[in-house]
Amino acid sequence: MPRALIFGVAGQDGSYLAELIVSEGWEVYGAVRTMEESSLERLSAVREKIRLDAVDLRDQSSVDRILAWAQPDEIYNLAGQSFMPATWEKPVETSDIAALGAARILDAMRRLRPKARFCQATSSEMFGRPQLSPQDERTPLAPLTPYGCSKVFAHHLAAAYREKYGIFAVSAICFNHESPRRRPEFVTRKITRAAARIKLGLDKELRIGRLDSRRDWSFAGDTVEAMRLSLRRDDPADYVVASGLSHTVKDFIRTAFAIVELDWKRYVIEDPSLMRSEGAVPLCGNAAKARRELKWAPRVGFEELIGDMVEWDLESHRTNAPALAAPWRPKLGA
């Protein structure tokens, strides 16, 4: 049975990827920061079908140990802190895990599993404030956050190992992707939870940053499917993974509140203290290469994504279900 190893398996993306790979009959090994049950709730659907181990990406021996144990045919690196305020609070830790962690994985591969295939999840944060939109694989990288800088390092290092050692290494340049498994501090989940809680009478308002901020949002399950497909190619290459559509935060709010039949203007307050600076050109991905070479396209649209998130937040508050244990969409991978 072929084997996959996922670093960051307990996160939003890792949990969807684990479910996808398990559904294809593969054996899945997962690297997590901690084995505490509270941190594994996203994995509830496949917890008994995958093998987990606590791994410290800051420790080479820890990385070596799980590669030697798992003996994987494919390796996915999804680990790292992606919540921007937290990356500024802990820039050294962010870099050690997201940048040097990728280096430790690649070097362990070189020594222990040189024939395995490797997918590095990178980010649109690598583009910083681009001059042109949409962005593709040739857009200059000019990151403006510790997270973005770390992802640039991992992105270039994957290419360097590909060139020098012949390792099958690809980078998936992922634009914003969301789901009901997104942590509550992220703006999208903050919005959908607020819509649900206000509808249920649990909250009275939502304070938010810039309403005119634009992002390219897609479904996390679609994003990990592109990662999976990137390792099915004969030759390794890097791919932008995005919907290609730009929406404002206001669009997101309006859609979420419409689902619960509320007028968002009555409940939403634009709070200057929560605002981040924005570039003149929005982040929006051109995934033409992924569509052409991987035969990939997003399956879940903007409104459907928000609907899933709002419905899960309503359900979790009504039933006290674990906030991050939303079900897998059955049609993914069909």
147 catalytic, yes or no?
A: yes
**Whether the Cβ atoms of residue 132 and residue 139 lie closer than 8 Å to each other:** yes
Name the DSSP class of 73: S
3-state secondary structure of 310: helix
Q: How is residue 321 written in tokens?
A: 């279900």
CA distance 160 to 177: 27
Q: Are 25 and 1 in contact (CB under 8 A)?
A: yes
Catalytic residue among 123, 171, 213, 243: 123
Residue 29 pairs in a beta bridge with 5, 51
DSSP 285: B
> Which listed residue (125, 179, 230, 243) is catalytic?
125
CB atoms within 10 A of CB 142: 14
User: Number of helices and strands (H, E) in the chain?
Assistant: 11, 13
Q: What is the separation of C-alpha 280 from the centre of its chain, rounded to a whole number of angstroms?
A: 25
Q: Report CA dihedral (293, 170, 74, 48) to the nearest 10 degrees.
A: -90
C-alpha triplet 9, 293, 248: angle, nearest 5°: 65
| E strand residue ranges, the chain | 3-7, 27-32, 50-54, 74-77, 117-123, 168-174, 177-178, 206-208, 214-215, 218-219, 239-241, 247-248, 268-270
Give CA–CA dist 232/164, Å, rounded.
21
* Residue 36 appears among annotated catalytic residues: no
Marked catalytic residue, from 16, 29, 76, 147: 147
Query: Any idea which residues carry the catalytic annotation?
Result: 123, 125, 147
